[in-house]
């Protein structure tokens, strides 16, 4: 009864808060580089800053389970903030047949992505579009959410077709590696399309987000022009839900690297699970993984904030989640249990979707090898060698012990 009395007293003091229902944050700091504005569950940030109608058109590029989950969030917020966004949210869908019917037709009539996010109803204002250029036509804000190995082909189709005033947010977890070096996905999109691009990443398993189970995420967005109508407040309004809390920072490089590198760590934790080494071993892998992630960011992207890796959802929280139940963890475990090639397992277990950690491990290894830095990142190097070079996974403890003095 004491707890119930406390709730009653809280309700009397703050009658606008329902004691049992998630509320939008009203007083906690949500902007790392911006002042805090009071919000209610029904008002939009534009009500506070301006009565001007923005009518921003939003398009989501990608329709896998994470792409569909993000499209659901964006569409919900577009419908609730009509002074800021156009209601319809177009989602580009790579057309394929499911039980003899086009996937776009299924999504637009049944309001469900039955192949990649079954059992989840999408808002009726999510409009599936099979043609990429039609999907992005007249859009003011693009949300990229495709496997990163498909991004070059998508950008080549969009090049020259997107005005420089368009803004973007990448939800893609990976990096692009070339002879010139390593590029975070947000920068790659910016360079290819000539538009500004931020990044979203966090401890966000797509099925749980789609089921509206509480989670947090980090959005990195640094306004390129003070006169932009699309600022950090607009971006937060687009993504924040009572069940999906958004913290906006300006460390695009740090958020992007966290989203990419944690997948390598998740593969290593999967190896531990597959060998049944237990929770202590997994904790050791998580600790070493975070060390290498932070070291990589500070050494090769000095603009990164170390706190992004240790304090944000995109950092330590995403590593914990990915090492507990993500695709890469499951794939690493399956590889140890079956001793089969990881690409065969990926095709079999993920049914057309991709585990980004395998590609990222290969690309990061290539980048480090060119710079003679493999020994400085023993966990990253070991994950690559276990997958591609037949390294015995049971050698992991010895490999990590041999370089302990480097930390």
Give me the residues paired with residue 58 across strands. 141
Cα angle for residues 43, 45, 48 (degrees, 5° grid): 85
Query: Choosing from 262, 295, 330, 354, which is the catalytic residue?
Result: 262
Cβ atoms < 10 Å from Cβ of 94: 15
Residue 262 known to be catalytic: yes
* 181 three-class SS: strand
Q: Identify the residue whose tokens are 């569409």.
A: 75
* Helices and strands, number each (H, E), in the chain: 18, 12
Tokens of 138: 């007249």
Q: Please state, in angstroms and rounded to a whole number, the distance separating the CA atoms of residues 40 and 81.
A: 13
Q: Please state, in angstroms and rounded to a whole number, the distance separating the CA atoms of residues 79 and 88.
A: 8
Tokens of 213: 């189970």
End-to-end C-alpha distance for the chain, whole angstroms: 51
* 248 three-class SS: strand
Tokens of 47: 């009500």
Distances in Å between the alpha carbon of 381 and those of 52, 218, 364? 52, 28, 9
Nearest to 108 by CA among 140, 133, 75: 75
Q: Please state, in angstroms and rounded to a whole number, the distance separating the CA atoms of residues 143 and 189.
A: 11
* 56 three-class SS: strand
DSSP secondary structure string, 188-224?
Answer: HHHHHHSSEEEEEE-S--HHHHHTT--EEEEEE---S
Q: Are 318 and 262 in contact (CB under 8 A)?
A: yes
Provide the edge-to-edge strand list for the sheet that holds 215-220. Answer: 126-129, 89-92, 58-61, 141-144, 167-170, 196-201, 215-220, 244-249
Q: Please state, in angstroms and rounded to a whole number, the distance separating the CA atoms of residues 73 and 86.
A: 14
To the nearest 10 degrees (0 to 180), the angle between helices 185-193 and 252-274 is 130
Catalytic residues: 262
């Amino acid at each position: 009864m004491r707890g119930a009395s406390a709730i009653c007293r809280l309700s009397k003091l703050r009658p606008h808060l329902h004691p049992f229902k998630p509320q939008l944050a009203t007083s906690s700091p949500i902007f790392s580089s911006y002042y805090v504005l009071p919000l209610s569950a029904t008002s939009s940030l534009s009500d506070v800053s301006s009565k001007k109608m923005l009518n921003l058109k939003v398009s989501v590029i990608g329709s896998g389970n994470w792409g569909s989950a993000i499209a659901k969030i964006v569409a919900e917020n577009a419908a609730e903030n009509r002074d800021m966004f156009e209601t319809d949210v177009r989602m580009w869908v790579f057309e394929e047949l499911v039980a003899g019917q086009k996937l776009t037709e299924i999504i637009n009539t049944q309001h469900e992505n039955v192949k990649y996010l079954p059992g989840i109803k999408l808002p009726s204002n999510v409009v599936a579009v099979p043609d990429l250029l039609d999907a992005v036509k007249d859009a003011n804000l693009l949300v990229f959410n495709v496997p990163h190995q498909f991004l070059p082909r998508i950008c080549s189709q969009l090049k020259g077709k997107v005005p420089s005033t368009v803004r973007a947010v990448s939800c893609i977890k990976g990096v692009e590696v070339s002879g010139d070096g390593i590029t975070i996905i947000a920068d790659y999109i910016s360079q290819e399309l000539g538009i500004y691009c931020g990044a979203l990443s966090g401890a966000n398993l797509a099925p749980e987000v789609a089921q509206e189970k509480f989670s947090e995420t980090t959005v990195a967005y640094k306004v390129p022009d003070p006169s932009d109508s699309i600022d950090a407040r607009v971006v937060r309004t687009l993504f924040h839900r009572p069940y999906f809390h958004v913290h906006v920072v300006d460390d695009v490089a740090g958020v992007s690297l966290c989203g990419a590198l944690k997948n390598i760590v998740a593969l290593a934790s999967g190896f531990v699970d597959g060998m049944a080494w237990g929770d202590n071993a997994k904790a050791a892998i998580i600790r070493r993984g975070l060390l290498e992630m932070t070291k990589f960011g500070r050494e090769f992207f000095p603009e990164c904030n170390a706190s992004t890796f240790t304090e944000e959802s995109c950092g330590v929280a995403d590593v914990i989640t990915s090492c507990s139940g993500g695709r890469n963890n499951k794939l690493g475990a399956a590889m140890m249990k079956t001793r089969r090639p990881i690409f065969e397992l990926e095709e079999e277990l993920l049914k057309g979707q991709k585990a980004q950690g395998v590609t990222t491990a290969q690309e990061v290894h290539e980048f480090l090898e060119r710079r003679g830095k493999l020994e400085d990142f023993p966990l990253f190097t070991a994950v690559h060698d276990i997958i591609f070079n037949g390294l015995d996974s049971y050698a992991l403890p010895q490999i990590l012990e041999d370089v302990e003095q480097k930390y």
